[in-house]
A and B are shown apart, each in its own frame.
Chain A
Amino acid sequence: GAGVSQSPSNKVTEKGKDVELRCDPISGHTALYWYRQSLGQGLEFLIYFQGNSAPDKSGLPSDRFSAERTGGSVSTLTIQRTQQEDSAVYLCASRFQGGGVHNEQFFGPGTRLTVL
C-alpha cells in the first residue's frame, strides 16, 4: 500500500517568505509526527498529532512554526518569515496507535527546505 508522502520534495525560498509543507499519512494511522533533520541539530521532534486531541507542540522552535491536521488526515507545517537557520529536511511520520502494542512509525521521504 501507499506509504507516507510529502510535498514538495524540495523547496527553495527567500529569507522572510512563508512556506507550507504537506504530509499525507498512511490511511488509518491516527498519530502523525513532524521532525526536522539538520546538520547542526540532528533529528529533532517538532510536533505530534493524535486523533482529535490537542497537538503536542513542545518541539516547535519558535512561534514562526505552526502545524495543523485537517480531518485527522493530511497535515501542513507552516513556517512564517523563514530564516536561513530553518534550512533542513522536514520529515513526517505516521503510526497506527492502538492495540496496546508499540507500533512502528513510518517516515516519509522528507521535504528539503533551503532558505537563501
Chain B
Amino acid sequence: GDSVTQMEGPVTLSEEAFLTINCTYTATGYPSLFWYVQYPGEGLQLLLKATKADDKGSNKGFEATYRKETTSFHLEKGSVQVSDSAVYFCALDAGGTSYGKLTFGQGTILTVHP
C-alpha cells in the first residue's frame, strides 16, 4: 500500500540555521505530494504541494521538489525562524479511486531557538 516515511525527530536548530526534513514515499502511479504544518495549539495547514514529477512547491521560504527517481519530497528552508517551530507532516494523495485521501508520514517536531 501507499506509505510515507519522514526523518525521525525531534529536530532542534538555532535561528537562521538551514533546515532539511527528509521525506520518501511509496505509491503506485503518480501521487501528489504535500507538506502540512501544525503550529502549537492550531490545526493542520497546507504548507506547500507538488502534483507532478520535478515540480517545486514553495511557500513562506520553504521549498520541496518532487523527485520521482528517488521517490522523495524533502522539505528545506535556508534560514529558519523561531516562529517556524511546529510539527511538519509529509503526505501523499495517490489519486485514482483514492483521490483526495491523504496518507501522512509520522510527523517531525521542529524547535527553533533564538
Interface string of B66-110 (1 = CB under 8 A from A): 000000000000000000000001010100011111111111000
Using a CB–CB distance below 8 Å, which chain A residues touch chain B? Answer: 31, 33, 35, 42-45, 48, 50, 56, 59, 91, 93, 95, 97, 102, 104-105, 107-110
Asked if B20 is at the interface of the complex by the 8 Å CB criterion, the answer is no
Assess the B101–A48 pair: CB atoms within 8 A: yes
Assess the A42–B105 pair: CB atoms within 8 A: yes
Query: Which residues of chain B come closer than 8 Å to A108, judged between CB atoms?
Result: 43
**Are A43 and B104 also in contact (CB < 8 A) when A104-B46, A107-B45, A108-B43 are?**
yes
Query: Which residues of chain A come closer than 8 Å to B100, judged between CB atoms?
Result: 31, 33, 48, 50, 95, 97, 105
Closest residue of B by beta carbon distance from A109 = B43
Please, how many angstroms separate the alpha-carbon atoms of A53 and B72 in the complex?
A: 33
Query: Which residues of chain A come closer than 8 Å to B99, judged between CB atoms?
Result: 97
Assess the B32–A42 pair: CB atoms within 8 A: no
Q: Which of B43, B101, B107 contacts A33 (CB 8 A)?
A: B101
24 chain-A/chain-B pairs, Cβ below 8 angstroms:
A31-B100, A33-B100, A33-B101, A33-B102, A35-B104, A42-B106, A42-B107, A43-B89, A45-B102, A48-B100, A50-B100, A56-B97, A56-B101, A91-B43, A95-B100, A97-B99, A97-B100, A102-B49, A102-B51, A104-B49, A107-B43, A107-B45, A109-B42, A109-B43
